[in-house]
Structure 1
């Protein structure tokens, strides 16, 4: 489990395809590797990856082909910067919101509108995800916990403050770039529970 608060901007230093439809991804991140061990979880652009090896300030993760195809990690290249976050520790502050590190879909940067103190960025929403996105609700974009400022049938917008622009990859994303999206898991649980009640014939609140 993660919080969507990026700890460090890392750098992809290697992408090595294997014979088993997977890729060994090597990422430099001195902070997140400072206490990392084999089997630990680190979120890379919002995707929960399992640490295979740590060598100095670089960790390696084995990424399945399914993950590469269903997330924006498949577009990574050596030299790319990535958002990194270690798994949350029990008792630590929850600065963002509950993030699983499981990508629900790949969105796309639609527009950027700079202002004096922040920047409004609009993203395309994949079909089927808009029902989980609400104004003033939470969403994770490339591992960054954000508050939705506007939402439409197939898009949503957020406001990025200077800290987010400088400390995460969202400050350099261009129009057309793909991004990993994870909607608030609480919305999915509520939908599941209400659907089960309706199937059982129980009255569902309007």
Structure 2
């Protein structure tokens, strides 16, 4: 489990994509202060497992499915990535509950400067937009953010200078693909409401057959 508070901006050192092994190696420093084989690290919001680490970075195996369904497939050597270690039970909870299992990807539709903040408009599929509410939480590339506005095919967030400086959003441009994870609490509520509707429909069919 993560909080969406990025600890460090790492750099992709190497990506191996083959039939027998697919692995990503990332250069970093801060998160190496407390890292172990088997630890979970969120890389641009995608939960990966540490299989090797050195004094300069760590490596994680990545399934082809993950490369295909996330923005990790667009990474190359030198790409910046957001990094966060799994949260500690006794630590501060600065963001929101983040699983590291993304719901899909979005595309940056526009980036607009507004005084000291920057507005990002992200185009997303309906299934993701249905789980987004204004003033609710959304995770973009592993960053816990507050939704400012929701439209028919996109949503907007306003980014402060610190977030731009400390995360991969400062390197993003129009047309870039980003990883999106809806608020897990909202997803459970939607699931329960969906089951309730199914029960109502089933009961109605039973009554019509009587």
Q: Normalization by structure 2: what TM-score? A: 0.92
Shift of residue 57 of structure 1?
A: 2.3
Question: Which residue pairs with 1:137 in the alignment?
Answer: 136
Matches within 5 A, 1:96-175: 96-175=95-174
Shift of residue 126 of structure 1?
A: 1.9
Size of the aligned set, in residue pairs, is 201
Determine the C-alpha separation between the residues in 2 that align with 1:194 and 1:151: 21
Aligned alpha-carbon RMSD (Å): 1.2
**CA-to-aligned-CA distance 1:170-202 (integer Å, 9 cap, x gap):** 012000000000011111100111222233349
Determine the C-alpha separation between the residues in 2 that align with 1:8 and 1:51: 16
Taking structure 1 as reference, are residues 18 and 33 closer, same or farther at Cα in structure 2, changes over 3 Å only? Answer: farther
Structure 1: runs of 5 or more not aligned: none
Determine the C-alpha separation between the residues in 1 that align with 2:200 and 2:110: 44
**Do the aligned partners of 1:34 and 1:57 also contact (CA within 8 Å) in 2?**
no
Structure 2: runs of 5 or more not aligned: 202-210
Moved over 4 A (4+): none
The DSSP-based 3-state class of the residue aligned with 1:200 is helix
Which structure dedicates a bigger proportion of its chain to helix?
2
Question: Which residue pairs with 2:74 in the alignment?
Answer: 75
Greater Rg by CA: 2
Question: Which residue pairs with 1:7 in the alignment?
Answer: 7
Shift of residue 32 of structure 1?
A: 1.1
